[in-house]
Structure 1
């Protein structure tokens, strides 16, 4: 008997990424937000492609199995991107979209605004301190440069540095596709310290200590 979509226990995809483990979506379990996103996506698909939808999923069992399959295929995407991807797919297609096409929409949303790796490499190499506060084209460039090492980028030839940067950049792109939000460090406000004037007695005490120290 097929399990219901709600029977799948939630697990956060970021838990594996935080441990430096390569994420395999077959090993992931969906969160409640993923379940809600896929369920809502199917509702919108039914409304938009009524005849095609019911031909593809003619009964409750086939619909449940389809939801489970789509959920497994989209579990490494963010719920927000799944929702946006579904709406975009409906706007762009006259035929019922596949989970593969929804994945492509999700990945396009996740990497929107990221430069090509060669352009990102040049941008990182031309940057200067304080780099965390520079006007980056996208935060991924800063994080790729930081992961590669600024001293390494500036001190070694491109034949050595570009492959390392490209590898780090691709890893960060994959993290974006999995729904991670890359942001730049926030500048900390400098705390203003106000000094309280010393009392006359304290001034005399410190002056006496200074005279004693200087033997005058």
Structure 2
């Protein structure tokens, strides 16, 4: 494939290998489309220049997905599409669908993790991904934090692990936690803002000026939120 850049890599060897894998995936994608829809393919890409330009554009749009998933999406498109699939169709087929790989939706998995009687790998989990996401999130977080706080953290970990399942990668590798802390703090901040807004409205209904009666506002907030 001409003009394609490589996906993210940690060194030159990884970058070269990833570039090779993406080249293979994109070329395979277009070969499958050409074999399945020869006339439509020729009309869509009448010249070699058109085909190479399309490969570069499709690569840029699809490089967020694992090369293996791109090939699978192309194969699935041939089985499910009545018409010549375009880039948006392939992108949609690349996205994670939990039920297709025998996984629960995030909220169902979250409840399974929260209410599991044991925290052991040997428990009869619906899928090991639920256990791994719960372990990565932290059992204490799942059991002690409100859903509005714990669910976004669990959901992020679960999605990462489920994507690894789909891509055939190591599902037990550590998950980078830097973004999780940011998400957690942001979730808390938004929840606090919503709670404070509701409290202000409640005080106004009672004829209390939240700004003038700051002491009363703080006292009521402590009573209602414990903060």
Normalising by structure 1, we get a TM-score of 0.64
TM-align CA RMSD: 3.1
Distance verdict in 2 for CA 1:103–1:35, change over 3 Å: same
Deviation string, structure 1 residues 141-183 (Cα, Å, up to 9, x no partner): 223212321022123444543343334434555x549946353
The one of 166, 183, 196 equivalent to 2:155 is 166
Hey, what does 2:142 align to over in structure 1?
A: 153
Q: Which runs of 5+ in 1 are unaligned?
A: 17-28, 186-216
The one of 19, 26, 42 equivalent to 1:38 is 26
Structure 1 CA distance for aligned equivalents of residues 172 and 18 of structure 2: 28
Larger Cα-atom Rg:
1
Q: Which runs of 5+ in 2 are unaligned?
A: 12-16, 174-227
Mean Cα displacement is larger for which, 152-161 or 73-82?
A: 152-161
If asked which structure has higher relative contact order (CA below 8 Å, sep 6+), I would say 1
Q: Which has the higher helix share?
A: 2
Q: What is the deviation of 1:114?
A: 2.3
Hey, what does 1:71 align to over in structure 2?
A: 59
Are the aligned partners of 2:2 and 2:52 in contact in 1 as well (CA < 8 Å)?
no
Distance verdict in 2 for CA 1:144–1:184, change over 3 Å: same
Q: What is the deviation of 1:9?
A: 4.8
The one of 97, 118, 124 equivalent to 1:135 is 124
Q: What is the deviation of 1:129?
A: 4.6
The one of 71, 74, 96 equivalent to 1:83 is 71
Hey, what does 2:6 align to over in structure 1?
A: 10
Structure 1 CA distance for aligned equivalents of residues 156 and 66 of structure 2: 23
Are the aligned partners of 2:101 and 2:166 in contact in 1 as well (CA < 8 Å)?
no
Please give the secondary structure, in 2, of the residue aligned with 1:132: coil
Normalising by structure 2, we get a TM-score of 0.61
Distance verdict in 2 for CA 1:87–1:157, change over 3 Å: closer
Are the aligned partners of 2:161 and 2:171 in contact in 1 as well (CA < 8 Å)?
no
Deviation string, structure 1 residues 168-214 (Cα, Å, up to 9, x no partner): 434555x54994635359xxxxxxxxxxxxxxxxxxxxxxxxxxxxx
Structure 1 CA distance for aligned equivalents of residues 124 and 170 of structure 2: 15
Mean Cα displacement is larger for which, 157-166 or 56-65?
A: 157-166
